[in-house]
Homo-oligomer: A and B are copies of this chain.
Amino acid sequence: MDSSSRPDPVSLSLGELAVRFGCELRGDPDLRVERVAPLAEADARSVSFLANPRYRSQLRSTRAGAVIVGADHAEDVPGAALVAARPYVTFARVAAALHPAPSAEPGIHPTAVVDPLAVVDPTAHVGALAVIGARCRVGPRAFIGPGCMLEADVHVTEDVRLVARVTLCRDVHVGARTIVQPGAVIGGDGFGFARDRAGWVKVPQVGGVRIGADVEIGANTTIDRGAMGDTVIGDDVKLDNQIQVAHNVRIGAHTAMAACVGVSGSVTIGERCQIGGAVGIAGHLEICDDVIVTGLSFVSHSIRTPGAYSSGIPIEDAREWRRIVGRLKRIDRLATRVAALERETGRPDQEEQ
């Protein structure tokens, strides 16, 4: 396994960080940091950040060597401050500089099984017990982790990282720099059956999957191949773990989905959407650009106006909730009673019949 080479610790001065990431430094430019840490756990060799005001109380007592903050909180930092317009973005870049991803030797592990008709770039890494099927192409610097399975006719482009045990079925195309976490399955058959008298008849799923560049796909997420035509994931889409994307779904660039979302077949989702955890989206709908759906909501109709949408119900004391549900189940009767009272008092509601 070439993911074995633990990267050497990196040490950077605050001066270097300020120059490289365009921050204003308030503090000693020669102070060196070598790791990132949360405010409450940071020490003098750590750099931390404040982006969520929820953690502001931890700022004053932090022992971090430096804290990345917006201008409005720079005064409150006890040690050095790296002042940035977008503290969380700057933190992400600083963290990547201090914690580089483990690198992998180019080459094919002797236990990997590579079809003679596959073409693997000499700078790519193919890990232990990976399988690369016929006519696959693996691009420059791609990382195919241990136990990954690529069926035939898969195209993995430059700098893609399949962490471990990823399955790409035939006719899957993965764009540059995309990262796929373990257990993900891309290109399984879509769920297509026609109902005949005797039972179900399988509809062959003959499309493929096209994944854009800079995409992230979470652990155990599944993306089905198209029934006809492709399932398409746009550039810079971020999918968390255990998401289900059905056949012929199209997801626009920069859209992010939290874990456990289920997207039914032939749904089209726009760009820059944010879909909360465990949201369910019914089939054949369209969601326009810039839509936010909060967690545990049920999208049962198309959304044509940008904005935030919800249908999740927060928990309640269980006994109280049973009473509420009982009332809800009789709400039709309640409305009828109100209408009767209105007639009684001579002021009938306009909407009611």
Q: Find A188's partner among B236, B241, B321 (CB 8 Å cutoff).
A: B241
A44 at the A/B interface (Cβ < 8 Å)?
no
Give how many copies assemble into the complex.
3
A6 touches B135 (CB 8 A): yes
A270 at the A/B interface (Cβ < 8 Å)?
no
Interface residues on A, range: 35 or more
CB distance from A218 to the nearest CB of B (A): 6
B220 touches A199 (CB 8 A): no
B residues less than 8 Å from A72 (CB atoms)? none
Q: What separation, in Å, do the CA atoms of A99 and B117 have in the docked complex?
A: 22
B282 touches A280 (CB 8 A): no
CB distance from A62 to the nearest CB of B (A): 13
CB-contacts of A73-111 with B (<8 A)? 86, 88-89, 91-93, 95-96, 99, 101-102, 109, 111
Given contacts A195-B89, A241-B224, A341-B338, contact A3 B183 (CB under 8 A): no
Q: What separation, in Å, do the CA atoms of A330 and B342 have in the docked complex?
A: 17
Which among A222, A229, A344 has the highest number of chain B CB atoms within 10 Å? A222
Q: What separation, in Å, do the CA atoms of A188 and B183 have in the docked complex?
A: 10
B residues less than 8 Å from A157 (CB atoms)? none
B310 touches A311 (CB 8 A): no
B228 touches A37 (CB 8 A): yes
B167 touches A165 (CB 8 A): yes
B351 touches A322 (CB 8 A): no
CB-contacts of A305-353 with B (<8 A)? 307-325, 327-335, 337-338, 340-342, 344-345, 347, 349, 351
